[in-house]
Chains A and B, each alone.
Chain A
């Protein structure tokens, strides 16, 4: 009797023992889960460190560039033979001759056409452009001597940065032994040095690595994103407010909701094709223009912003709406005075995600021609331009050794841009967030 009783009703000690056994199992499961989580985070951090390490190791050198110190004589015979200081003549004058003359002065012992050609190869063609700019800005320089740091060729730059070894066999590098000798001589005299790379931040794209800069792509990205933000945030928030607060709940709004969610998952290149067909094909807007890029990226970011904004609106407590309506506020007043301010931080989060995605997009921009080789820095939203991710894509494809560091450099600039943009948005969000 008592034994059946025992089996049916467990003693307290037995129950406690069972709980203790299950406890150990539960704690084991928790420890295991923690270990998985920790391992995943560690692996993630390791990859990020590796990625950033590679990018910075390859890209940081782009912020310095090899310059050669030359004493330039602005020879009136060469650049202004007529002597009338005519601006039209000054623009087209032969400034390369000035650079060559300065180089011959630096190495007077070099003779013979092939040797001289090698000597001239030390300098970038940008050197003569700089002289031209200086003279057209200040014609009084003509007849004077000036000591200048002028841009060296990228082959020199690569050797100086150690990317190409001086000890390598002659047929394995683009510099001849003779050029390496001049390079060493210049370096000993202190006339060849790594200086801050101005042209990387002031130039557009170029076929010469030493002249190629990110300014064109940076401005292009800036203009494109400006248009994207100006269009997608108001339209996205407006659409979300209408759908969430005003639209009737019926089949049509259900269909719209499903479609917005689907649009968020559409591959970005499809948006590029749409932009090509509609904006360029149908409306005849210019190719490669930040304006069209902004339109396309707006289409791309709108679903993200609408979805985030609707979620933010849904999260506003209904009691606030009731309070406002109960006070006799109209629907628009309820939304404008109470719901929107509370939902704004969430909407800004959506905008951050959308804009960050837009900044990193290259595929849709390829479709609308923002992949073109554009040297000029864009001055407005209809000028041909390219964008930072597209610039990275373009440079990564080029064979010259100098473009490797430029690719990484452009990625660094892109990351800094992203960081700056997100920091601004987070700051704005925190400013609007009311914690009460």
Chain B
């Protein structure tokens, strides 16, 4: 434990001054420029520049505490809820600054859905879990439409067959993997443009993980997906682009197969070959 910490510290000096790789993509959904995040005095994210492409999965990897989750939470302004957190720099969603006064945070979160590390279904029925988003955003005119949205969302999340007979049972009665798919169904029920996933499989067993990964692959056709993961295999399996974070710096970003086969930065290579992390 102390060894790896020491090695991480010694690596601090080796962070390249500028992000290596292609930070830009054509027609990005998110475009982040010089993003800094501070937690009080702590500089958690340092001058991050990155674009997020449509219909693609971006995996963010890096050792614990490197700021990947913090960066993810910038994208739907969840950091607003943390006392003492401050975000600087420019983040645009479809060309519009998300920190602009005119940008409503409620609307932003309807466009940018989020799936959390621990499955966190509401303590309500399965139906109510999925229906909640459409209901508060007024997406269904009547009960029939709402039923359709719930039905479709559960189908797309691959959960319909398992829960169709018990929609009125509590969401928390499902298994961990099912709960996480319920959370994904809940997120896609409001039809967002981007789905943020913060280590969605870290609390799941390999079988449930495989199902979620298949699901991510299917959902990619409709949504831009950002996934934070600790598993490099998972990043390699599900993503098209990978970004490597290190102690608040975005070290390298590029196509996933390039990053994993031929990393440009020494730090990236050390991490993916398992020398630390």
Contact = CB atoms under 8 A, between A and B. Distances in A.
B183 interface: yes
B123 A320 contact: yes
B106 interface: yes
A328 B106 contact: yes
A41 interface: no
A317 B109 CA distance: 20
14 contacts: A319-B116, A319-B118, A322-B120, A323-B120, A323-B121, A326-B114, A327-B136, A328-B107, A328-B108, A329-B106, A329-B136, A330-B106, A333-B136, A436-B123
A431 interface: no
Interface in B117-159: 118, 120-123, 132-133, 136-137
Given A338-B122, A434-B123, A436-B123, 12 more contacts: A322-B114, A322-B120, A323-B116, A325-B78, A326-B76, A326-B116, A326-B187, A329-B132, A329-B136, A337-B132, A341-B123, A436-B172
Nearest to A324: B122
B208 to A, nearest CB: 18
Contacts of A249: 83
A325 B118 CA distance: 15
Nearest to B118: A319
B110 A328 contact: yes
A328 B109 contact: yes
B116 A322 contact: yes
Q: Report the interface size class on chain B.
A: 20 to 34
A342 interface: yes
A249 B83 CA distance: 8
Contacts of B277: none
A313 to B, nearest CB: 15
A18 B239 CA distance: 58
Interface in A308-336: 317, 319-330, 333
A333 B136 CA distance: 8
Given A320-B122, A322-B116, A328 B133 contact: yes
B224 interface: no
B137 A328 contact: yes
B246 interface: no
Contacts of B261: none
- The listed residue with most B CB atoms (<10 A of its CB), out of A249, A317, A323, A325, is A323
Contacts of A317: 120
A20 to B, nearest CB: 34
Contacts of B231: none
Interface centre among A327, A330, A333 (most CB of B within 10 A): A327
Contacts of A338: 122-123
A325 B108 CA distance: 11
B167 to A, nearest CB: 15
A323 B136 contact: no
Contacts of B76: 326
Contacts of B194: none
B81 interface: yes
B120 to A, nearest CB: 4
Contacts of B137: 328
**What are the 7 A-B residue pairs with the smallest beta carbon separation, nearest first?**
A328-B109, A328-B110, A319-B120, A326-B114, A436-B170, A323-B120, A436-B172
A323 B123 CA distance: 11
Contacts of B106: 328-330
A327 B132 contact: yes
A377 B53 CA distance: 77
Contacts of A328: 106-110, 133, 136-137, 190
A332 to B, nearest CB: 11
A328 B132 CA distance: 10
Interface string A218-259: 000000000000000000000000000000010000000000
